Amino acid sequence: MQRTVFFISDSTGITAETIGNSILAQFDGVQFDKHRLPFIDDAQKAEAAALRIKTRYAQTGEKPIVVNTMADRSLCEIVASSGALMLDVFAPFIGPLEDELGAKRSGAVNRSHGLVDFEKYEARINATNYALSHDDGIDVDYGQADLILIGVSRSGKTPTCLYMALHYGVSAANYPLTDDDLDKLELPARLRPYKDRLFGLTIEPQRLAQIREQRRANSRYATIQQCRWELEQAEKLMRREGIPSLNTTHVSIEEIASKIFDRFGIERTLF
């Protein structure tokens, strides 16, 4: 079975897509043809979206599904005229909140991803710059780090640091354990003063070999033997030093970040 899904928003569409994908993931037997329609913020754009959805309906004979985060009810009604199944993300919450707060929603568009708090936005940019300059041991000024990820090359350190910085303003550095570090089974001297900020990432050898093969095909670096040795040594080092760690093989970046925040007691809100 295959169904068409449209994620529609008056802003970036990130919220609609994130929530929509979480819901759709519960239906294993269905394949979804997904389309994101962002910035539907006036009647003309809503009518164009409705026409596209209606055309898809005629082509497939199956009612499209719309995951909607548009705030303006009149725009929602235009899109609903397409005959699609409308899943309004805001609907279950707006009414109870209006009753509780004694106020009506504004219906203003582009609110959720606007630059509402410049201080928080600047913190995220600064944290992102920090993550980039402290990637793979490029810089060693770890004194400003909220946390430092360690692990073998290609275990997920860089994307995790950048995600935490860009979305939460967390200053995260990362250090790749080298063959020399792994031979000695010793924590590098530059990291010892910050041991309480360290968190280790590991991964299954087969998956690591696949990732490395894409980066450096037919190299010793990508062999399963090298990957297995590095990971075994890294895990021994982390256990010896009492460094908490997480296997990232089947874990999303979002979940990795949440587990790290929980471990360090970091409480930050998204955006």
d(CA 163, CA 174): 13
Per-residue pLDDT of the chain (271 residues; tens, 9 = 90+): 899 999 999 988 888 998 999 999 999 989 999 999 999 999 999 999 999 999 999 999 999 999 999 989 899 999 999 999 999 998 888 889 889 999 887 666 555 555 456 777 788 889 999 999 988 776 678 999 999 999 999 999 999 999 999 889 999 999 999 999 999 999 999 999 999 999 999 999 999 999 999 999 999 999 999 999 999 999 999 999 999 999 999 999 999 999 999 999 998 766 5
Predicted structure pTM score: 0.70
d(CA 230, CA 224): 10
CB burial of 207-221 (b: ≥16 within 10 Å; e: otherwise) equals bbbeebbeeeeeeeb
